[in-house]
Amino acid sequence: MPRRRIPKLPTLLDRKIYKTGQTRGADDDEIYQNRVARASTVLIPHSCWLVCDIASGGDAQYENGFIVLVSPDEYFGNPNITAELAANGLAIGANALVFYETRSQWGANNPETLNWRPASSRTNPLGGQYVARISATTASSEGEKIIRGFSVTAMKGAGIRVYEYASTATNQRCRWQLEALFWLCRDAGEIVVANGMLNRDAIIRKEAILSRCEEEGLLDTARLTESRMLNRHGATICPLCLEDFSSQGFFSRMDQAEGREVHDLTITQLNLFHIEELRFGILNHRPYNLGWGHHHCNVVVKDSGITETLEWMQGIVYRNVRDGYLSSANNPS
């Protein structure tokens, strides 16, 4: 029996949760696609193939396939490369490409003089043997940028970063859990009403989402607390600083320094936060690894991970206290 249609979230919050299922941005001159679904074709450096050849996290394979990127140095410097690729089920032009990133690589083995074609498809056959993204330089008269393959409007970018991948099913589960974490903010009900949602609709949607998460095994509060997403009172917190926050941060833009304002700033105070950082060899865009955190806390952690960041911050505080720049009275024990 189909589920009852539940009321919609305020547009800004709905869009924010939806966008968690998309990859990070990429410039036109990069090999990656810009802001696409995490289930898109993945790009795997050949050096990482052995740890990325099968999608982990419950996915038997990459939903929209993969392309392995082989460096020109490895391809042209290894006389056995074709056999070694074949032993791993790979072939240039089928599911692998030679990826040019430097001008020296282009000069040493120019693919155009080899009569190679730039790839034009993300599925086998790829339509060519190589792809190139070489930055411009002023060091020579022939220093223009070299962009070959996946550069037309309808086919911008060859694929996504492999560690950003998540299947369609995993993405949906992540979105349910992330919305549940929103509803577990201490003031979520009043804030959605203040942002245009009817009170009765807020109650209906909250109950429906929390119920769905219970059914799907996504509301294990002990596990969410251990993962730094909830505090011991069951309220949503920032995974780094552990502060519980007002859900108004999902709707409020970041404060800007006076005199440096930009009119099109879209960054909100609270953003998606990976508990274990994204890295090669494991798919960390998954339930129980995604929370909401302060924008500034996210910027501080970057790709280092929470534990390493906290140890770094502890060292900073220690040295500032030791050298008299910070009173030990301001250093909570």
Task: Give the contacts of 327 (CB within 8 A, at least 6 positions apart).
Answer: 321
Residue 161, beta-bridge partner list: 43
| Among the listed residues 247, 246, 300, the one whose alpha carbon sits nearest the alpha carbon of residue 273 | 300
Alpha carbon distance 50, 35 (integer Å): 27
Do residues 158 and 17 make contact, with C-beta atoms less than 8 angstroms apart?
Answer: no
Per-residue pLDDT for 23 more than 80? Answer: yes
Higher pLDDT, 58 or 278: 278
Q: Tell me what pLDDT residue 262 has.
A: 41
Judge contact between 95 and 65, C-beta under 8 A. yes
Contacts of 88 (CB under 8 A, 6+ apart): 49, 53
pLDDT-based confidence at residue 137 (cuts at 50, 70, 90): confident
The predicted structure's pLDDT at residue 141: 58
The three-class DSSP label of residue 99 is: strand
Taking CA 303 as the corner, what is the angle to CA 301 and CA 305, rounded to the nearest 5 degrees? 60
**Res 57: pLDDT:** 57
pTM exceeds 0.75 for this model: yes
Angstrom distances, CA of residue 166 to CA of 56, 57, 61, 259, 290: 9, 9, 11, 40, 12
- Please tell me what DSSP assigns to residue 150: S
Query: What per-residue confidence (pLDDT) applies to 219?
Result: 98
Q: What mean pLDDT comes out for the span 214-235?
A: 98
Q: For the chain, which residues make up each domain, given as ranges?
A: 28-164, 168-302
Report whether pLDDT(265) > 80: no
